Amino acid sequence: MNHLAPHERTERTEPAERAQAARKPIPPRAAFYLLASVVVSFLAASSAPTPLYATYQAEWGFTPITTTIVFGIYAIAVLSGLLVLGKLSDHVGRRPVLIAAIAAQAAAMLLFSTAAGVDELLVGRVVQGLSTGAALGAIGAGMMDINRSRGTLANAFAPGVGTATGALVSGFVVQYLPAPTHTIYLGLLVVFAAQAVAITLIDETVTRAPGALASLVPEIRLPRTVRGAVLATAPVMFAVWALAGFYGSLGPSLVRTLVGSTSAVYGGLGLFVLAIVAAGSVLALRNAAATTVMYTGIAALVAGVTLTLVAVDQGLPALFFAGTAVAGLGFGSGFQGGIRTVMPLTRPHESSGVLSLLFVVSYLGMGAPSVLAGVLVVHGGGLVPTSEEYGAVVIALAVLALGALLLRGKPSSAPGVLVASGGAPAVEAEPARASR
C-alpha cells in the first residue's frame, strides 16, 4: 500500500517519468539509418589507411609485401570476427554487440594515431578487423529486423559508400591537412564516439536467447534453403572483393605509376572510383531481378578488368579509370546480386549467420589474393605483370560464377518473401520486433 502523500508521489514520480522519456528508443526509421551509418563508418575506417601506405613505407622503409600483409591481416581478422562473433547478436542482442564493436574501433583509431612502426599498425588492423567482423552480421541482421527488403538493399549499398568515403577523404587529409597520420584517425574517433551514444538509444530487435557461448564456436553451416544460392554466388562475390583487395593494397602504387604523381589523392582515387560506382549501381539496379543483377555484375566485371589490363599494358591513365568505373559496376552488381539472391531465402533467426558467411567469402577474397600479389610484386615480375596476372584470375572467377549461375537456373522465392514486379525482394509486411 502506498502511504505517500499526493504531492510526494508527484514529486517522486515525475523525475522517474522524465528519465523514462529520456531513455525512449529512437524511431525505427532513424535506427535503420543509424545502423547503415555504422557500416559506412566502419568501412571508411578500413579504407582510410590506403592513401597512407606510401607515407608509412617512406617513413618505416618496408616493401610491398608488408603493405599487402598489413592489408591482408585486416581481412583475416574480419574473417575471425565473423566466424567467432558473427552469430553472437542472435543470442545477446544487436545493441550490446554493436556498442562493444564501436568501442574496439575507437581503440583501433587510437592505435593508428600513435603508431610508430609496423607492429602497431598490425595490432591496430587486427583490432579493427575483429570489431568489424563482430559488427557486420549484427548490423546487417538488425537492419533486416527493422525492414527486411530495405535492409537487404542497405547491406549491399552501405559498404561501397563507406569504402569510397574513407579512401577519398583520407587522401585529401593526407595531401592537404597537417599531421596526416593522426588527423584522419582522430576524426573517425569522434564519429565512433557519437555513434556509440546513439546506439544506446535504439530499440533491441531480438529477444535474448540461450546459447551465446556455444555460438562462439566457429561453425560453417548453411540452411538447406540457401545452399544452392550460396554455391552459385560465392565465386563472383569472391572475385569482386578480390578486386577491391587489389585496389586497396597495391592499387595506390599502380595508380601513381600510371599517372606519374606522388599525390596521396591519387593513392585513394582508384579505390574511390571502384567503390562509389559500386554503391551507385546498387541503387540503379535495386528494382531489377536478382539474377539480372548477377549477370550484369559478371559482364561488367569481365569488361572492366579487361579495360584496366589494356590500360596498364599501354600506360593509359584515363582508360584505367574508365575501366575501374566499369569494374565498379561489376563490383556493386555482383555483391548486391549475391546478397539479394541469398538473403531473401533465409528465415529471421538465420539471417545473421548466413550474412556473416557471405562476408566470410567476401573478405577471404579480399585478403588472400592481395597478400599473394604482394609476394609476386617483390619476388615475381614486379607491379605491372602482377597486376595483369591478378586481373586474369578475377576474370576467370567471374566466368566460373557465370557457369554456376547457368547450371543453377532461376531461383525460387522463400516462404514469406515475394518477388516484386522488378524482381526485387519484397516482404508482405515488416517483421514484428520481438518483445524484450
Domains annotated on the chain, with CATH: 29-210+223-424 (1.20.1250.20)
More confident residue, 349 or 391: 391
**Per-residue pLDDT band at 181 (split at 50, 70, 90):** confident
| Average per-residue pLDDT for the chain | 81
Asked if residue 4 has pLDDT above 70, the reply is no
CA distance 213 to 194: 30
Q: What is the mean pLDDT of residues 143-158?
A: 82
More confident residue, 325 or 180: 325
Q: Left if phi > 0, otherwise alpha if psi is -120 to 50, otherwise beta: which for 350?
A: alpha
**pTM (predicted TM-score):** 0.73
Q: Left if phi > 0, otherwise alpha if psi is -120 to 50, otherwise beta: which for 217?
A: beta
**Per-residue pLDDT band at 321 (split at 50, 70, 90):** very high
CA distance 6 to 13: 11
Predicted confidence (pLDDT) per residue in 93-137, tens digit: 888 999 999 999 999 999 999 998 899 999 999 999 999 988 887
Predicted confidence (pLDDT) per residue in 20-32, tens digit: 455 577 888 899 9
Top-confidence range, 31-45, 371-385, 404-418: 31-45
**Per-residue pLDDT band at 326 (split at 50, 70, 90):** very high
**Per-residue pLDDT band at 298 (split at 50, 70, 90):** very high
The predicted pLDDT at position 357 comes to 81
CA distance 51 to 251: 10
Predicted confidence (pLDDT) per residue in 391-427, tens digit: 898 898 888 888 878 887 654 443 333 333 233 333 3
Q: Alpha-carbon Rg of the chain, whole angstroms?
A: 22
**Per-residue pLDDT band at 260 (split at 50, 70, 90):** confident
Please, are residues 126 and 115 in contact by the beta-carbon 8 Å criterion? no
Least confident of 178-187, 275-284, 297-306, 365-374: 365-374
Asked if residue 434 has pLDDT above 70, the reply is no
Asked if residue 187 has pLDDT above 90, the reply is yes
The predicted pLDDT at position 180 comes to 80
End-to-end CA, the chain: 29
**Per-residue pLDDT band at 373 (split at 50, 70, 90):** confident
**Per-residue pLDDT band at 431 (split at 50, 70, 90):** very low
Q: What is the mean pLDDT of residues 237-256?
A: 85
